[in-house]
Structure 1
Amino acid sequence: MTTPAGNPSSPLSRIRIGSAPDSWGVWFPDDPRQVPWRRFLDEVSASGYEWIELGPYGYLPTDPAVLAEETARRGLRVSAGTVFTGLHRGSAVWDSTWAHVAEVAALTQAMGAGHLVVIPSFWRDDRTGEVLEDRTLTAAQWRALTSQTERLGREVRERFGLRIVVHPHADTHVDTEENVTRFLDGTDPDLVSLCLDTGHYAYCGGDSVKLVETYGERVGYLHLKQVDPAVLAEVRAQETPFGPAVARGVMCEPPTGVPALEPVLAAAQGLGVELFAIVEQDMYPCEPDKPLPIARRTRAYLRSCGA
């Protein structure tokens, strides 16, 4: 897929900025505490963004003609879809995984996007904290994760022309620097790229700039967010699950948290390739009037960084 580059006069000319339903408190296809999808589209456009993600499948219209009309009249385009997977469980889950992936990939392709964000399954429930499985994978589970992810990358590319970008995420098995590097070292760069989420990586103790500098050729996509260090220290000490941690404000409005986004964006620009950088400030649940002012301030802040 060919997409327009940023402003060539900008210091971050290769970075394409967008936002996502997540920044409007949207985690589920349907939830009464979430803003309606039309309001999300209206407000993300009013905030100055031109790119969006699909968010949880079924939140935005799944009819490509309807979604194309709704996004186009607001000056919006889709950068990626998102899927959740449990590929460390091996070939037994392939058919159910593919059924989910295929419907999301088909809509993503129809909207002209080129990426599919792949999020590993949670080892504990992100709302209740119930432990669902061991937080550490066995050697056999690691082999299943890497081989099945490569298979997913191959199938998605061949059938839909999309590139998968795997998203390290808190409370999953691909989270810390150790696990992210093990995952990258165990997968084929031609089939598997990374969606570096600056907030999740910091949440799990990682250094985003170091990752870009070390594994830059594997970084295919960015999610921009920050964590509040004080809240993070509390939730780590209390072993708080990710969902309640978000409700406590662990993910915060930039530039008030960490990591600093300017050096991350500069390192990404230095890779010499075009990258999406999608703002994702986890805020579930949130009051319906909260996201728009934050989105506007965040877009202004990123412009001040050159993006």
Structure 2
Amino acid sequence: MIKIANAPCSWGALEFDLEEKSEEIGFEQVLDEIKETGYLGTELGDWGYMPTNPNLLRKEITKRDLQLLGAFVPVALADASKHLEGLESAMRVANLMHKAGYGDAFIVLADDNASVAERTKNAGRITPEMGLSQAQWEVFAKGANQIARAVKDAFGIRTVFHHHCAGYVETPQEIDTLMELTDPDLVGLCLDMGHYAFGGGDPVKALKTYRDRIWHVHFKDYDPVAAQESRKEDGDYFDAIQRGVFCELGKGAVDFKAVVDLLNDTGYDDWVVVEQDILPGMGNPKACAKANRDYIKTLGL
């Protein structure tokens, strides 16, 4: 049975080093509101956002009758000198989840998004010239495979890669390349509907193409009008977020009915995580979380 979760990023708790960090909502309120709006699970959020003591983490999650199902781990994989640091970060997170009793959770591996100015500036309008060379791709994939293998060997925890705008794996072609170069037994795909659409692709086609590699799913919608407004003003990735490029589910361009039908038809019975990325201090996260959960109910989930 498909189970529905949410994540701290929907409350503005992002992994980026932003000036607005001081406006982040505390994890206790986020977990309370995830529970109150009808979700069954959460992702960990940025390291240190939730308790890093496994007993305390377990206590906070279980007292709300939630599950922990994944943790986002950004690594600058195109830079071989960053691989060891990235491996240590992934192992630290995996160790925490394992000790807290969440051995079924995923490492949600990603590029160190928004760390390369050209990619951040041109999110949603990437051209091939802005991409990695073949040699860089080999380095990138090698790092992903190494991290996934180490985490699996040490803790039995699986790794999925999260394609993401403002990173080096954004467009459908870039996702194709990474999937070709990584070990299908080690690295799955976290298909994020909103990021895939913002990156220029059709999430329904991606679901058909990569169904066997898709181990984890993020429900995020995409507003092409907001993207176009940002593009007209030469806005970057964060400008697009500020304009609401990731809108409430059902109000954007993603065909979630077709997505749900495909998930059901292919026997997907794991977690779907709702993510409506906002910047700290934006909007009313609890109201959006409730609206998103109500929308998903109309799809039979």
TM-score by length of 1: 0.88
Q: Deviations over 1:26-80 (max 9, x none)?
A: 1149932111111111111100111100011110111111111111111111011
The amino acid that maps onto 2:287 is P
1:186 aligns with 2:186: no
In the TM superposition, residue 243 of structure 1 has moved relative to its aligned partner by 1.5
Cα distance change of structure 1 residues 216 and 232 upon mapping to structure 2, 3 Å threshold: same
- Cα offsets for 1:136-166 (capped at 9, x unmatched): 1111001111122111111111012111110
- 1:45 aligns with 35
Q: d(CA) in 1 for partners of 2:280 and 2:158? A: 31
Q: Which stretches of structure 1, 4 residues or more, deviate above 6 A after TM superposition?
A: none
Q: Equivalent pairs: percent with the same residue?
A: 32
Alpha-carbon distance, 1:108 to partner: 2.1
Output the CA distance in 2 between the equivalents of 1:298 and 1:258: 15
CA contact (8 A) 1:124 1:241 kept: no
Change (3 A) 1:87 1:29: closer
Query: Are the counterparts in 2 of residues 197 and 222 from structure 1 also a CA contact under 8 Å?
Result: yes
Q: Which moved more, 1:240-249 or 1:200-209?
A: 240-249
Q: For residues 75-86 of structure 1, what are the structure 2 equivalents within 5 Å?
A: 75-86=65-76
CA deviation string 1:197-254 (max 9, x = no partner): 0000000111111111111101111111111111112223444221221111111011
The structural deviation recorded for 1:127 is 11
Task: Find 1:119's aligned residue among 110, 130, 152.
Answer: 110
Picking from 231, 234, 238, the partner of 2:229 is 234
Letter in 1 for 2:180: D
How much does 1:129 deviate? 4.6
Query: Do the aligned residues in 1 keep the contact of 2:119 with 2:167 (CA within 8 Å)?
Result: no
Q: How many residue pairs get matched?
A: 290
Q: Structure 2 CA distance, aligned partners of 1:139 and 1:192?
A: 19
In terms of mean alpha carbon deviation, does 109-118 or 16-25 score higher?
109-118
CA-based RMSD of the aligned residues comes to: 2.2
Counterpart of 2:64 in structure 1 is 74
Letter aligned with residue 99 of structure 1: E
- Picking from 222, 225, 249, the partner of 1:254 is 249
Amino acid of the residue matched to residue 86 of structure 1? A
Structure 2: distance between partners of 1:99 and 1:267: 36
TM-score under structure 2 length normalisation: 0.90
Mark the runs of 5 or more structure 2 residues left unpaired by the alignment. Answer: 124-128
Q: Which of 129, 149, 156 is 2:151 aligned to?
A: 156
Instruction: Specify the alignment match of 1:177 in structure 2.
Output: 172
